Amino acid sequence: MMIKIKTSCRLLHIINKAVIMLCVVLAGQTLAQQDSNDFINEIDSIDFRRGEQGEGKVLVFLQKNSAAVDVVEQNGRIQLDFHDTKISDELLYQLDVLDFATVVKGIETFREGDKARLVIETLDAFTYSYQQIDEVFHLVVQKREADQIKTAAAGQYVGRAISLNFQDIPVRTVLQIIADYNGFNLVTSDSVTGNITLRLDGTPWDQALDIVLKVRGLDKRMDGNILMIAPSDELAAREAKELQAQQQVEQLEPLISEFLPINYAKAADIAALLNNKEATLLSARGNVAVDDRTNTLLVKDTATTIENVRRLLRRLDVPVKQVLIESRMVTVKDNVRDEIGLRWGFSDQQNDRAWSGNAPGANNLAGGTVPALNDRWNVNLPVAN
């Protein structure tokens, strides 16, 4: 009996230990399965190579071909963010690739929440391109030449480039990725349902959003930092109801009267503009009258409409621009030339020679007598009387 009891206890101990180990294994598998379900993809490995033209190639090997990658260039770095992508602890490192003699200096990997991030350091000015082929994401970085001219494609979409590659993914998930990419708050209607398959490489995020919305018959509205998504018909019906409610409020809003003096314009002209049926600011219940003696408008309408009329007057009731002309009066006489004359001459005596304005003056000077003034002029054109 003693042996049987010991054997039974030992057997029971072994069974309990096996059960515990089995529970631990199952729990580990369950946790691993739950952890893997939190991500849509996982990075298997990262490689760097030198191309034939001396360019650097960063290769990211993924488990699946569906990836949402955010590529950003800033401060001489290229940052790759793989959304909802798992990266193991073994792949968190800093890689020095200077020995490859490319424009790329090094690669560093990070884990940022549910994102796997790669930061590529460079040595000089560069250009880059990227694409995804099956389960491999390719980033090519090459040195920018001195004479290379960088041009930007013209278009209506100006958002940062984003790459999306998904197979049968819920639309709500794609919208959330785009909202997180731009730091928007996202509000979606309950009517936003269904899945979508898309592959977009280096597409502006606003164009990618419009494509997703167009495919699913959705539309968007932006209110500050809030992105609202709903079916187009639903948004149109909601806005129509809001407009109808606003019109009902205007119908119930009380009327007030205001005297608005006009300083520079004519009150009658402003009243004619307000009464114009094609461009009036007055509501259906409003009216305007004119006092020509004081050049004043009497407006009776809602407070909102009267405020709009005040804004109009601030733009129209202004002084007309004028030109200042400065002039001077100058009196000119036709006999000015009669007041201009010229008289000049010289006299001199050296030994037995003498010079003066005329012969009598020279003779007088030679005889030792000072000639008269009129005999000393060589040119005698006095002012006319």
pLDDT value for 331: 80
Instruction: Specify the CATH number of the domain 161-234.
Output: 3.55.50.30
Rounded CA-CA distance 98/105 in Å is 5
Closest to 114 (Cα-Cα) out of 87, 75, 93: 87
Q: What is the pLDDT of residues 52-62, one digit of tens each?
A: 888 999 999 99
Output the six-digit token pair for 173.
Answer: 């998930």
Rounded CA-CA distance 173/137 in Å is 21
- Has residue 63 got a pLDDT over 50? yes
pTM over 0.85: no
Handedness of CA 141, 147, 148, 152 (dihedral sign): positive
Neighbouring C-alpha atoms within 13 Å toward the C-beta of 151: 3
Q: What is the pLDDT of residues 199-208, one digit of tens each?
A: 888 888 888 9
Distance separating the N- and C-terminal Cα atoms of the chain:
172
Q: Angle CA(18)–CA(22)–CA(28) in degrees, nearest 5?
A: 145
pLDDT value for 204: 87
Which residues lie closer than 8 Å to 71 by C-beta, 6 or more apart? 78, 79, 80, 130, 139, 161, 162, 163, 202
* pLDDT-based confidence at residue 366 (cuts at 50, 70, 90): low
**By the 8 A CB rule, do 283 and 250 touch?**
yes
Q: What is the rounded average pLDDT of the residues 133-158?
A: 70
Task: Choose the weakest-confidence range: 14-28, 119-133, 171-185, 368-382.
Answer: 14-28
Does the domain at residues 41-143 carry the CATH identifier 2.60.40.3470?
yes
At which residue do the structure tokens 């600011």 appear? 281
Query: What single letter denotes the amino acid at residue 70?
Result: D
pLDDT value for 250: 74
CATH class of the domain defined by 256-316: alpha beta
Q: Concatenated DSSP letters for 26-43?
A: HHHHHHHHHHHHT-SEEE
- Has residue 279 got a pLDDT over 80? no
| Residue % of the chain over a pLDDT of 90 | 25
Q: 300 or 359: which carries more pLDDT confidence?
A: 300
**By the 8 A CB rule, do 103 and 76 touch?**
no
> What are the residue ranges spanned by the domains of the chain?
41-143, 161-234, 256-316, 336-381
Q: Give the three-state DSSP class for 198.
A: strand
Which residues lie closer than 8 Å to 64 by C-beta, 6 or more apart? 40, 41, 42, 135
- Has residue 28 got a pLDDT over 60? no
- Residues forming beta bridges with residue 74, ordered by sequence position: 77
Can 41-143 and 161-234 be said to share one CATH topology? no
Q: What is the pLDDT of residues 315-338, one digit of tens each?
A: 888 888 888 888 888 887 776 656
By residue count, the chain amounts to 385
Task: Choose the weakest-confidence range: 12-26, 121-135, 227-241, 271-285.
Answer: 12-26
Q: 367 or 283: which carries more pLDDT confidence?
A: 283
